[in-house]
Structure 1
Amino acid sequence: MSSRITRDELAARIAADIPEGAVVNLGIGAPTLVANFLPSDLEIVLHTENGMLGMGPAPAPDAIDPDLINAGKQPVTALAGAAYFHHADSFAMMRGGHLDVCVLGAFQVSERGDLANWSTGEPGAIPAVGGAMDLAIGAKAVYVMTDLLTKRGESKLVRECAYPLTGVGCVTRIYTDHAVFDVTAGGLRVREAFGENTVASLEALTGLDLGGSAASAEGN
């Protein structure tokens, strides 16, 4: 049994936690996959910061409309009733607390829910935080989608973020390829462990006190 799930499986797991009626922003990169797993029988409205409500899943290769893109410049579809608007209006929605959920990637998340997801400080990195800051602070719930470990095997869940912060204490829940974690007043807690992972093994990988108990994904 593997100790990890695939990125598509993780996207489907996140989609299952998004309630009907929610207005949701999916961040650039892996979070956009969540759109492909939202149940078609539920009304969930996807927002993209470049000015659209009612975004649908990625189009088939032969059905791409070059005028329909998300904030990451990926082609998308528009559902019936979709609306387009100015970039400034889109940011007013983000900053005004009108988004129920946003799903963002991360370089690091601290045990207090601080988020670092825009720069590693490396030369040539993007020069500014952009809309990530507005999403992290403006959304009612912030879900992070990320691998638990870097390519060098270091935990992305840390006591203190070493990279520039996007938001302080803003993360609600962290979805990784090893487990799902909730951010609580007492630190990170394992909500669900995948495959062979246990609280003890996850504590060994992260170096954090994760407390509580894990529900196996097997059979869920």
Structure 2
Amino acid sequence: VASSGDLANWMVPGKMIKGMGGAMDLVAGVKRVVVVMEHNEKTGAPKFKRECSLPLTGKGVVDLLITELGVFEIDRKGGGARLIELAKDVTLAELRSKTEAQFAVAAHLTA
């Protein structure tokens, strides 16, 4: 997922791109898309990125991203992400270190 709301849902076993993971028809023509995923790959590489590195399943389709580290609202029109919830026992510094995408932080999390 990119901070712009772009989604690339591909199967990449052994880094060989096999094809779309079946989400294209799930994101086409719907009003709201919520993505629930692990925050990082098994290698530790971030899955929430500045730009998707694989071909897009949907451009600007994601409204909400939920991971085990936090919850992000995506402004599909403005192209920005905002952290609205931080998981228990996760610090903002830890989250930033595990995230490639730029994101704003909701005021209630910085108080």
Coarse TM-score class (shorter-chain normalised): 0.7 to 0.9
2:98 aligns to what?
Answer: 205
Using the alignment, how far apart are the partners of 1:124 and 1:158 within structure 2?
18
For 2:7, the equivalent position in structure 1 comes to 115
Please say if 1:191 is aligned against 2:78: no
**Structure 1: stretches of 5+ with no match in the other structure:** 1-108
Instruction: Render the CA deviation track for 1:165-204: whole Å, top value 9, x for unaligned.
Output: 1000000101101111110225111111111224333222
8 Å CA contact 2:2–2:101 kept in 1: the answer is no
- Partner residue of 2:40 out of 139, 149, 155: 149
Greater relative contact order: 1 or 2 (C-alpha under 8 angstroms, separation 6 or more)? 2
Identity over aligned pairs, percent? 39
Equivalent residue, structure 1, for 2:65: 174
- What is the one-letter code of the residue matched to 1:117? N
- Counterpart of 1:120, as a letter, is V
CA RMSD after TM alignment: 2.3
Cα shift at 1:131: 4.7
What count of residue pairs does the alignment treat as equivalent? 106
Return the letter of the residue paired with 1:111. Answer: S
Higher helix share: 1
Rg larger for:
1
Aligned residue type for 1:204: S
Which residues of 2 match residues 44-193 of structure 1 at below 5 A? 109-120=1-12, 122-123=15-16, 125-126=18-19, 129=20, 131-184=22-75, 185-193=78-86
Tell me what 1:56 maps to.
none
Cα deviations across residues 121-142 of structure 1 (Å, max 9, x unaligned)? 843724xx37521211222110
TM-score (norm 2): 0.80
Q: TM (normalized to structure 1)?
A: 0.43
